[in-house]
Structure 1
Amino acid sequence: MATTLAAQPTSPSSAEVVNYFATLKASGRNSWLNVAHPRQDGELPARLSTLSPAEKIALASIRGPLHCADGWSYLSQAMRALFSGHAHTCRHLAYYAELRAGLSILASQGVCIGKKYHFYVDAAGDVRAWEGQSTHEEIWNALTQWAGFNGSFEVMMAALKIGGVSLESAIKTFFPVLPSAQLGTQLIRSWGYDLGKGHQDRATRNISSYGVNDLTELPTSLSKGFELAKTIWEAIAPVGNSLEVYLLKNLLRDQIRKSGDTYLPHYKTQYNSLDPRLRRHFEWKFVTAPLKRSIHPIFVLASDHTPPARPEAVLSRALLLLRLATQMNNQNFEAAGLNTIDDLQFWWPKFGSERGFYDHSAPPDELSDLWSDVEIALEDLVDPAPATPYAFARLDMPSFNRIWETDRSVLWALIK
């Protein structure tokens, strides 16, 4: 048995995942798994051989959206910890949000990571297993290996959109041929930095997870947390696309620099060929503005690798991976022909009501309506920000808890 994903004779594919969700729609089923599936808890058995290929594909498929939703819930609680003065708890939860995002991205492509034994499904529908390392280490191994496969960068860029237009089509308008394996690996290594440092950083991270926190200072700033919250909500709002806009600019400018022809007006013809829907959000003056003046705050925080990892930095990297995971899973839903609001009615109303977004008997008619509560909360934020968690906790804000409920975005981004 091979010991890595990269050593396998074939590559993973999302085709069977899409087929699984198409079957879910066609059958009108009211649960993620068929009632006859032997693992209703979604977990892998100690011996994979006890599952049929179809049962394995089912587990890989559902883990994509469900790990994604759980990742957003971890991020939400990390935000709450940040505002409550619990820096170590924030870092711990943000790391696990990043971990769930990695699991979700892999599952969306038919790769299922277990405790020691892992498997994937290829384009022919064959299920292949390998014996690797434990979960934390193997997620990183498999994720970086997958990112370096031919076509993986294109899959990621096809899922991320601006004005309904994929970043893949925009990039190829400028550069039809790209070193995609290199770009995919670079992106995942950047956004999943904490997963990659999991082994080396385990000692410092375990202080947050299991240690005596009060004896190890982990500085954080409430005022910076305020600004971070505003930036995060701007990025994940129902019509938010700021992360994608800045990512596209950075990718294009990096390729322009590498091409040797750095005179930007030479690229105006390609820019004019972009879909008008994209150009409305991606103006030429923004493309040509100096990079130093147009770096998104989330990318700035995500690039901070100062040890020990700062809570805001881990939180930002988790956000980027979760945004990617959300869009990749939604892409699978669309390819399967799911009308997610109707076809996943057995799941999403309960997801929102259990988190207190609405009463269980009255889910919203339009999921984007959940954004209005957040808008009110953001308007209620005082300026300047309170200097201490004590002062913040005593603000007269009825909408107080909405500030950190980032898992609301599951209902307007993953479900729609």
Structure 2
Amino acid sequence: MKIGLFTDAYKPQISGVTTSLNMLAEGLIKEGHEVYIITVKTKGSKEFDIDKPYILRFRGIPYPRKGLEIYRFVPCVGRHVRRIKKKFPKFDVIHVHTEFSIGKLAYLYQKRTKTPMVYTSHTMYEEYLHYVGKRLAKMFRRPFMWIVKKMLKRYVKSSQVSIVPSKKILDLMNKYNIEGNYKIVPTGIDLEKFKKETYKEKDILKLKESLGLKDEFVCLFIGRVSSEKSIDVLLKGFKELNNENMKFLIVGDGPYMGELKNLIKKLDLEDKVILTGMVNWEDVGLYYQLGDCFLNASISETQGLTYIEALAAGLPLLVKHDQVLEAVVTDGYNGLFFHEDDELQSLIERLKEDKKLKEELSKNALLSVKKYSQEEYAKNALETYEEAIKLYKEKQTNK
């Protein structure tokens, strides 16, 4: 099968969408399918694309807002349909992963080439309004959400099948009254990349030493450093601990980093919190080996890929309850939920002191991630593509 993947976000950027897309592309290629990726040019993309002729990028203009600089606006995208047709063979199906410039390009490609289309809704836009500015978000929330709903409706209506990664997103679509042919397909990951057995003990020790870690109990956060991730909640909970012989390791970067550093200083945690900044994607699995538990207080996740990565590394999860996580975390089995922010402190202390509980949660963490394998993700996606192709053919026949 010849599959065109359209996205405004792809490597070398790091985000939930890029991780999902990369896992899908790799899984489909392993199954013997031809995969082509249409995306935008970003910093480092030229080097990344060496020996990858299946990637086609278009130049765009960076968005002039803090936190959105890595994204691009591609003007007059319709003119690029011809270039796609010239460079790549006719696709059997296209799969749209984002709704902006490249999403619009996919929409136009489908109309002009009469190709079956699948759409995945990855993002809860209500949780990202702050990127347009707090005052603007408050003043123009209703018109902004009207635009978002109209945009989502266009892609759902144009697709034969619309994928949502969790029931939370399905419920959101129903709340928006956007009717469609929905299918829940959880994103898969390369489980081996995060397992402890993948790494040599000397490499783990070397990384620990480089970060100044010894035998401390390490609380770990890995992800985009942005306000919707609620890292401030984690820091305040960590502050309340008797945190002797404990460290909080934060791996990642983002628009909230400056404010995060100020908060760490204000809380007098500079000797307890380690900030790595951005790390190479190839090294992320190694960083998971440094943690004793994984912390997160975000309620903006559409599935929670870093949670699944942490489970694959055998880390117990101490995370804020959210509906989307009920499919990932079983409270008391592979992690512990907190509902109120002030509950986090006691959960960390409990896990640190109760070694038997920690071992049990860790063992169950490894058992609970098998359904998120890359192979299962690719298999579910292929079944969805076949359904989309069948539905499209039936529609054309009935015209």
Normalising by the smaller structure, the TM-score range is under 0.3
Higher helix share: 1
Higher strand share: 2
TM-score, length-normalised on structure 2? 0.25
